[in-house]
Structure 1
Amino acid sequence: MRATALILCGGRATRMGGVDKPLQPFQGRALVSHVIDRVAPQTGGRILISANRHLDDYRRLGHPVLPDPLPDFPGPLAGILAGLTALSDAGSAGGAMRAGAPEAAPPSPGERSDGFGADWLLVVGGDSPWLPIDLLDRLAAGLAPEHSAAMALGREAPGEPLRPQPLASLIHVRHRAGLATALRAGERRVEGWLRTLPLARVAFDRPTDDLAFANINDRSELERLERLDHR
């Protein structure tokens, strides 16, 4: 499956004092750099970053940066809308966009592309440094013919029950218009919107998944996870 990753970095991080959380240092590098390392091999380097602050810092990571299309920090759904719009625009232009350039020619059959010529958006958070290295493959494997979206069910710590992980999801570009309508109607919850789609729920319950969806909400959590050695 060809997909483009969207890394959501546009939140306010109020529980961390308003710092730009994905740019905080974690084991020697910014949190978001670990996320990029995890998802880039899965999407052939096709990555978009949703951000609303410190845009130049995010651009230095080497991938296109998309500010929210709506004002006043409406939440991650606005970032997802920006990502789906970028995919839709690239598809309607008949070619793939390359990082650092406005357009590139579409690939020949069987040729790998570094652009965004994909119909699926792999949505991940910018504060989850240990995402599964096979997240895309496993979400895609959970899709039945009637599905046009998939969401991971995973643990945020060892021993916890599986919970919905809406910021580890796979969404078809056809849902762009529907998401725009939902946002105009006041929807702000990613999981709430995903539940309105033909949605596959995919369990990530292997022992190696125990920390895969650990996300960092405050500084004590950041310091605790930074001491762990998780490969």
Structure 2
Amino acid sequence: MGHAPEPRFARVAALLADPTRARMLALLLAGESRTAGELARGAGVTPQAATSQLAQLEDAGLIRARKQGRHKYFALADVEVAHALEALSLVAERDDVTARWRRPAYQPLKRARRCYGHLAGELGVAQLKMLLAQGHLRESAEGFVPTASGEDWLRQLGLPLPTGGGRLAYRCMDWSERQDHLAGTLATALLDHYLQRDWLRPGQEDRALRVTPAGEARLLPMLEP
């Protein structure tokens, strides 16, 4: 009697089991493209070792590479990979979650972080709660649709409603908060807007987002009234 074929996710699981590759993917989960050198520094390995690890991740379809000038930039292959990594984070952090997120090293990530281009953490959850409480979004079969008041709010913010490919707005379970934050092209446009206004600033070595003085004056009152 022959064995059943090996599940296709077994190879992916083996790749994720390596700490170096896992750290690289965690860095890319922020949604920004990074060079091999940046990923090597973030993972604590040599550039040569990083090149080998990145080749394996690219071959497995977990990341994609784009050459620009003299540099090659790496990013997660697509949003499905990002959601899979977030789901694994939720499973991995199920034990004693509250105690872990009280640790000083985890606090910046818990407060605000990137989740593949949109806002996550306490501020991400607060953003979705605010949009629903103010009646700016309504549930639909595809996720969320902006209401008339939501479109007015976006105009006042100086942000056009995103058009084009990808789902506009939907729920994404938050890794640290165990509540939903907003995902989709609208969520990405909102975070880009906050960054352009310098209300939030990204960290260099992790996914954490720091609230600036301007953000304390403009963003926090909006998200945490």
| Structure 1 and Structure 2 fold alike (TM over 0.5) | no
TM-score (norm 1): 0.31
Q: Based on CA coordinates, which of the two structures has the bigger radius of gyration?
A: 2
TM-score (norm 2): 0.32
Greater relative CO, 1 or 2 (CA 8 Å, sep 6+) = 1
